[in-house]
C-alpha cells in the first residue's frame, strides 16, 4: 500500500529500533559495533542520532534500512518488522554519488527503476514532484557536472523522496556543503517532513554537528564510542523556528555535548 501522511495519526510510532546489536567479523573474530540500541520516532518527528566518529552510526542506519541484518534485536516500521530493503524506507548515503551521465531527472527515475508497479508516466509524475519538493524545479535536465554541491545533495534527497517513503534516513547529508547551502537544505528537510503533500512521516538524521541537531531535531539519541550503546536521549523542547543565536539554543547544544563527552 502506498504511504500517505494521513495513515498515521499524530503520535503514532512510525519507526522503532528494538534492542539492536551488531557484530562485524574481523579475521573471524567478532567485532562488536552496536550493543542493545533502542530508539523510536513518531509521526512528524525528526530524530537525530549522533556519536563519536566510527561508533556505528552508518551501520545503525543501514540496519534500519534493511541493508544489514542485526545480530540480535529488531527494527519495525509502522509495526511491521524490517527484514530487507523496503519501498517505504529511503536512505541518502553518507558518500552519496549521482550517475554523471544522467540528468537530475534521470537520476531520480533511476532510483525508481525497481518499481514494477508503476507505469513510466506515473514514475515521471512522481519524479517531477520529488524534484519540486527538493527545490529543484527547472533543473530536471541538467547533468550533475553542472550542478553545485548543494544541488547534487538535493537530487539525492529527491531520489529518496520519489519512492514516497514513510521513513527517510539521512546520513550526514549536509556535511560537505558550505554553510549557506547547508542551512537552506536543512530548512527544506524539515518542511518536507511537515508538508502534508509528501509521504514522509518520520526522519532519522545522522549528524555530528550539534548546532544542526538542535536546529532540526525533536529528539536526539547520543551513542557512545564503539561498541555503541545509547549514552542518552534528549527531547528538544524548543519552539520553531528556532533562534540559533538565543541563549536557550546554546543551553540545548550544551546538553548534547555533555552526553557526548
Q: Which is nearer to Mg ion, 38 or 58 (CB)?
A: 58
Q: Give 17-77 as a 3 state SS string.
A: EEEEEEEEEECCEEEEEEEEEEEEEECCEEEEEECCCCCCHHHHHHHHCCCCCCCEEEEEE
Pair 205, 46: CB distance under 8 Å: yes
d(CA 77, CA 161): 17
Q: Is residue 59 a contact point for ligand ATP (CB under 6 A)?
A: yes
- Report CA dihedral (83, 86, 91, 97) to the nearest 10 degrees: 110
Q: Is residue 175 a contact point for Mg ion (CB under 5 A)?
A: no
Residues that bind Mg ion (rule: CB under 5 A) add up to a total of 3
Which span (57-65, 83-91, 105-113, 120-128) binds ligand ATP, by CB under 6 A?
57-65
Q: Which of residues 84-103 bind ligand ATP (CB under 6 A)?
A: 94
Q: Choosing among Mg ion, ligand ATP, none, which partner's interface includes residue 55 (Cβ < 5 to 8 Å by kind)?
A: ligand ATP
Half-sphere exposure of 234 (CA within 13 A, CB side): 25
Q: Is residue 57 a contact point for ligand ATP (CB under 6 A)?
A: yes
Three cell numbers at 253? 547544544
Three cell numbers at 233? 536521549
**Minimal distance in Å, beta carbon 154 to ligand ATP?**
21
Q: Is residue 53 a contact point for ligand ATP (CB under 6 A)?
A: yes
Near Mg ion by CB under 5 A: residue from 16, 58, 71, 175: 58
**Minimal distance in Å, beta carbon 112 to ligand ATP?**
27
Which residues in this chain contact ligand ATP in the complex, by CB under 6 A?
24, 31, 33, 53-59, 94, 226
Which residues in this chain contact Mg ion in the complex, by CB under 5 A?
57-58, 94
Amino acid at each position: 500500500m502506498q504511504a500517505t501522511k494521513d495513515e498515521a495519526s499524530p503520535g503514532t510510532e512510525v519507526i522503532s529500533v528494538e534492542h539492536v546489536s551488531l557484530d562485524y567479523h574481523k579475521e573471524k573474530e567478532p567485532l562488536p559495533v552496536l550493543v542493545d540500541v533502542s530508539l523510536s520516532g513518531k509521526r512528524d518527528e525528526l530524530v537525530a542520532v549522533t556519536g563519536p566518529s566510527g561508533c556505528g552510526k552508518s551501520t545503525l542506519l543501514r540496519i534500519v534500512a534493511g541493508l544489514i541484518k542485526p545480530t540480535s534485536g529488531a527494527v519495525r516500521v509502522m509495526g511491521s518488522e524490517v527484514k530487507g530493503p523496503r519501498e517505504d524506507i529511503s536512505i541518502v548515503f553518507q558518500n552519496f554519488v549521482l550517475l554523471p551521465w544522467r540528468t537530475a531527472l534521470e537520476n531520480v527515475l533511476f532510483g525508481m527503476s525497481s518499481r514494477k508497479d508503476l507505469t513510466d508516466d506515473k514514475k515521471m509524475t512522481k519524479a517531477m514532484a520529488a524534484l519540486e519538493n527538493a527545490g529543484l524545479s527547472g533543473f530536471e535536465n541538467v547533468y550533475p557536472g553542472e550542478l553545485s554541491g548543494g544541488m547534487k545533495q538535493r537530487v539525492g534527497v529527491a531520489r529518496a523522496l520519489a519512492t514516497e517513503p514513510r521513513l527517510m534516513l539521512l546520513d550526514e547529508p549536509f556535511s560537505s556543503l558550505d554553510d549557506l547551502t547547508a542551512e537552506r537544505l536543512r530548512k527544506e528537510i524539515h518542511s518536507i517532513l511537515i508538508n502534508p503533500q509528501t509521504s514522509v512521516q518520520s526522519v532519522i538524521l545522522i549528524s555530528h554537528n550539534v548546532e544542526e541537531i538542535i536546529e532540526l531535531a525533536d529528539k536526539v539519541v547520543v551513542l557512545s564510542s564503539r561498541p555503541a550503546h545509547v549514552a542518552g536521549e534528549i527531547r528538544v523542547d524548543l519552539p520553531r523556528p528556532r533562534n540559533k543565536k538565543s541563549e536557550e539554543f546554546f543551553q540545548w547544544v550544551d546538553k548534547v555535548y555533555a552526553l557526548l563527552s
